Amino acid sequence: MVIPVRDVNPVRRTPYVTYALIAANFVVFLLTPGIAGSVAGQGDLSQLCHLQAFLEHYAAVPRELIHDQLPRLVPTGETGVGPHGAGCVVAPPDYHKSPPVSVFTAMFLHGGWLHLLGNMLFLLIFGNNVEDRLGHVRFTLFYLVCGYAAAYGFAFANATSGDPLIGASGAIAGVLGAYLVLYPRARVWVLVPFLIFLPLRLPAWMVLGSWFVLQAVYSSGGGVSSAGTVAYAAHVVGFVVGMALAWPLRPGTPPPPEPRGLLWGRQARPGW
């Protein structure tokens, strides 16, 4: 995968919603109980139990979304000692969880710094232009619709799963799909890992198209040993929904002021 750095596609207005979403994701991540120790691999049992209880409450769970099957016992965040040793205490939940609302809260939860920073980088680079084209209010609604579509699309494909679904990836995939439709010829500065990181300026259709192809391959089980903890199917659904929602706006979208061709090496540096 290439690493996007920035695009050559100026905006007419300040992307307040994009900035607010990025700030909110960072704040929620820093306030997530037990996340620091878990990410560092040094969390004690108490921190892990608090994190597990928090995710059980606020993460989206496919089984809950499709069948409305809420668990009778959930982690409380406390630790205890049972027949098999120390562990997290479980008890009937003292709260009412709404599965549809959990999709919203899950969009602001992340499992680690790499997960968070990767998502926010893509949102920062591509979200501003989509927000500029849609407007602040419509972009907010667009982001939420893509996030919900991605979560429920993944849930329908994994209806019996009890694993928590977290992250803004589905909504941001929708932003990428919209950008591909609206600005396919915009140039994107990327770093290509090949012995060293080579700077290249590539068209958006190449950068985002290859990203989507990889997500589609991974979601089908190709190229990976297992699906792991990444919801590739959610990325695919969010991307397609974003493309579909942006398609009616394509005819009136002015092209970015960028010449054709690829630049690399010394030729690439002056334009950074």
pLDDT of residue 66: 94
Secondary structure of 48-111 in the HEC alphabet? HHHHHHHHHHHCECHHHHHHCCCCCCEEEEEEEEECCEEEEEEECCCCCCCHHHHHHHHCCCCC
pLDDT of residue 255: 81
Strand partners, 60: 165
Mean pLDDT score of the chain: 87
pLDDT of residue 37: 53
**Residues near 205 by beta carbon (within 8 Å), at least 6 away in sequence:** 180, 184, 185
pLDDT of residue 25: 97
For 4, 142, 231, 243, the CA distances from 248, given in Å and listed in that order, are: 27, 13, 28, 9
**Residues near 247 by beta carbon (within 8 Å), at least 6 away in sequence:** 181
- pTM reported for the whole predicted model: 0.87
How many other β-carbons are positioned within 10 Å of the β-carbon of residue 170? 31
What stretches in the chain show pLDDT beneath 50? Answer: 40, 223-228, 261, 264-272
180-219: per-residue pLDDT in tens? 999 999 999 999 887 778 888 999 999 999 999 999 999 8
Q: Tabulate helix, strand, coil % of the chain (nearest 5).
A: 55, 15, 30
pLDDT of residue 198: 85
What values do phi and psi take at 89, rounded to 5? -75, 135
